[in-house]
């Protein structure tokens, strides 16, 4: 049997942390992980955030992000222990033998330089190719990865191509120096489902055609199942399960892996529309000031009391703009918003305090939606003071009740946002919205930044709260699994228009229009060979291409 290309033994990685109010200290974030990767094979590293998967991926280039340090173990690449190598030898390895594809190509490309210059830089710098040959090779890769106009796209600057295209350019950048190993770090996570599928296929074919080995890092088991030969499931810096892809997907041994495989277990019965909608958009057409085209075209949707309307579509479809129109941040050009039997003023500045109270919002990034210098109690207490004039013991009692409702205990009232996990932060934002006793909450991608299991918990909580508080949700998301889990009605948006609208069962049952079909078929399924199947059956391209 041949030697493994990458051999990791008992890898330990540490970091210095700076918790608020405490002295900085060292912690261990990866506790002795071992694996082998044979030439030309793909190993999927999967786990939630904080599992250490990116950190392990970068250790194959002897690189630690920020204050991260490799504290023990061995990393053998092509028969050399790179942790014992000199810095100058490590530099030859980086960008030559091992290359890296990051999650956000938009941030990982230098905005000041044309794409081609960046794609060939490592290959030229490492002496693998002359500049001319490297450029020819890059153009061939652009072509293979399905980029439009492969001969000239390299002359463009990063901001001149779309997110999906830039992610492929990043893959070309990684493959250009003919590396032995590519580390893919969540390469499709930031993309729309419909774009993800194209990029995924491009990556898969590129791996197969070039015979390069890869570490494929992601939190999405369904995605990694499409490209990997082996899968390693990680949790909090330890290996949970490690085996061939077939065994992990079809016969997971560990309880945690089983939970990952069967995630999204929510069962939600669709409710029939009641007579009067609580919130309606009537013939809404909107554009941003200074632009010459409409972002929303004649949008009509209804949200019924105590129910959920999911607005789904890819980025640029106008779903967040709809939320901006409803909240009065963007007055529409035509049409109006009906709310609880009255017409809302187009501009939020002219709305009454009651209007504002009854229409609350929860955002995607719970982190930035809270003042980091305020305690949880202050954050939740603010709407109680503002809308109901609660003070002192009365306010504190209500905060406690709200904390109980979002399944966080008493201990949280005096904590700061920095001391909470991502899921806990989102729960606090939910409590803040609920504190105003609203009729409608607009949820803008509230689970997109969360790990699947945590997101699942949030969705269950939201459904539960809907029963108790009888609040309606306008749920904006690009994730169809979330839509299936939570909605009563669905509006599918495409290029600013409502493409398909109706009850959940109706919208999700055939016959589909082409776009809904594309959207539904693009959701990764936990099934081997799904990717090839769906690509073969596609009827149209995504708008992101």
Binding site for another protein (CB under 8 A): 61, 63, 65, 90-96, 99-100, 102, 104, 107-113, 118, 121-122, 125-126, 156-157, 159-160, 173
CA 162 from centre of chain: 17
- Which of 86, 467 has the CB closer to another protein? 86
Shortest Å, Cβ 85 to another protein: 12
- Which of 64, 273 has the CB closer to another protein? 64
Q: The sheet that has 6-17: what strands, in order across it? A: 25-37, 6-17, 68-77, 80-81
- Which of 69, 397 has the CB closer to another protein? 69
Question: Tokens representing 76?
Answer: 């053998």
Cα–Cα separations (whole angstroms), residue 75 to 4, 32, 78, 83: 11, 12, 10, 6
> In whole angstroms, what is the distance from residue 491 CA to residue 456 CA?
22
> In whole angstroms, what is the distance from residue 353 CA to residue 70 CA?
55
Shortest Å, Cβ 123 to another protein: 9
Shortest Å, Cβ 20 to another protein: 21
Shortest Å, Cβ 67 to another protein: 13
**Those residues with Cβ within 8 angstroms of residue 426's Cβ, 6 or more apart along the chain or in another chain:** 362, 366, 446, 447, 450, 458
Shortest Å, Cβ 34 to another protein: 23
Helices and strands (H, E) in the chain, number of each type: 20, 20
Shortest Å, Cβ 110 to another protein: 4
Shortest Å, Cβ 169 to another protein: 12
Residue showing tokens 């909090």 = 236
Shortest Å, Cβ 61 to another protein: 6
- Which of 99, 424 has the CB closer to another protein? 99
In terms of Cβ atoms closer than 10 Å to its own Cβ (0-12, 13-18, 19+), residue 428 is buried
- Which of 23, 159 has the CB closer to another protein? 159
Cα–Cα separations (whole angstroms), residue 73 to 13, 204, 232, 458: 9, 31, 18, 38
- Which of 158, 417 has the CB closer to another protein? 158
Q: Concatenate the DSSP letters of all residues of 92-119 into one string.
A: HHBTTTEEEE-S-HHHHS-TTS-HHHHH
- Which of 92, 398 has the CB closer to another protein? 92
> In whole angstroms, what is the distance from residue 346 CA to residue 462 CA?
28
> In whole angstroms, what is the distance from residue 313 CA to residue 294 CA?
17
- Which of 47, 96 has the CB closer to another protein? 96
């Amino acid at each position: 049997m041949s030697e493994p290309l990458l051999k990791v033994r008992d890898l330990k990685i540490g970091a210095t942390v700076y918790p608020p109010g405490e002295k900085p200290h060292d912690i261990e974030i990866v506790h002795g992980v071992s694996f082998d990767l044979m030439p030309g094979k793909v190993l999927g590293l999967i786990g939630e955030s904080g599992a250490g998967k990116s950190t392990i991926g970068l250790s194959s280039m002897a690189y630690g992000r920020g204050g991260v340090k490799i504290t023990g173990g061995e990393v053998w690449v092509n028969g050399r222990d790179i942790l014992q190598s000199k810095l100058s030898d490590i530099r030859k390895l980086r960008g030559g033998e091992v290359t890296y594809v990051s999650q956000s190509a938009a941030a990982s490309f230098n905005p000041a330089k044309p794409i081609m210059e960046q794609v060939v830089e490592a290959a030229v710098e490492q002496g693998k190719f002359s500049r001319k040959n490297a450029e020819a090779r890059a153009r061939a890769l652009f072509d293979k990865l399905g980029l439009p106009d492969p001969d000239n796209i390299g002359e463009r600057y990063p901001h001149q191509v779309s997110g999906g295209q830039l992610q492929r350019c990043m893959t070309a950048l990684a493959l250009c120096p003919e590396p032995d190993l590519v580390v893919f770090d969540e390469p499709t996570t930031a993309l729309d489902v419909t774009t993800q599928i194209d990029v995924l296929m491009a990556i898969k074919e590129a791996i197969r055609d070039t015979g390069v080995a890869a570490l494929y890092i992601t939190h999405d088991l369904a995605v990694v199942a499409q490209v990997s030969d082996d899968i390693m499931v990680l949790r909090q810096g330890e290996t949970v399960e490690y085996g061939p892809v077939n065994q992990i997907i079809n016969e997971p041994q560990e309880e945690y892996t089983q939970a990952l495989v069967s995630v999204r277990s929510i069962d939600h019965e669709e409710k029939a529309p009641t007579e009067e909608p609580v919130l309606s958009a009537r013939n809404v057409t909107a554009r941003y000031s200074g632009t010459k085209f409409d972002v929303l075209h004649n949008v009509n949707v209804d949200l019924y009391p105590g129910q959920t309307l999911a607005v789904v579509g890819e980025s640029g479809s106008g779903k967040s703009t709809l939320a901006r129109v409803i909240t009065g941040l963007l007055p529409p050009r035509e049409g109006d918003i009906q709310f609880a039997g009255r017409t809302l003023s187009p501009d939020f500045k002219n709305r009454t305090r009651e209007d504002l109270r009854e229409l609350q919002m929860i955002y995607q990034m719970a982190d930035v939606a809270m003042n980091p210098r305020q305690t949880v109690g202050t954050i939740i207490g603010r709407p109680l003071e503002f809308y109901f004039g609660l003070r002192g013991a009365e306010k504190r009692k209500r905060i406690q009740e709200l904390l109980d409702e979002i399944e966080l205990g008493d201990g949280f009232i005096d904590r700061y946002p920095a001391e909470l996990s991502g899921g806990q932060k989102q729960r606090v934002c939910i409590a803040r919205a609920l504190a105003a006793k609203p009729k409608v909450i607009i949820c803008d991608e509230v689970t997109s930044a969360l790990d699947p299991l945590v997101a699942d918990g949030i969705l269950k909580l939201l459904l539960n709260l809907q029963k108790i508080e009888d609040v309606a949700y306008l749920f904006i998301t690009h994730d169809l699994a979330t839509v299936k889990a939570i909605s009563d009605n669905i509006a599918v948006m495409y290029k600013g228009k409502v493409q398909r609208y109706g009850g959940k069962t109706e919208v999700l049952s055939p016959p589909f229009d082409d776009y809904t079909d594309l959207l539904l078929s693009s959701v990764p399924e936990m099934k081997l060979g799904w990717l090839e199947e769906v690509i073969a059956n596609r009827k149209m391209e995504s708008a992101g291409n």
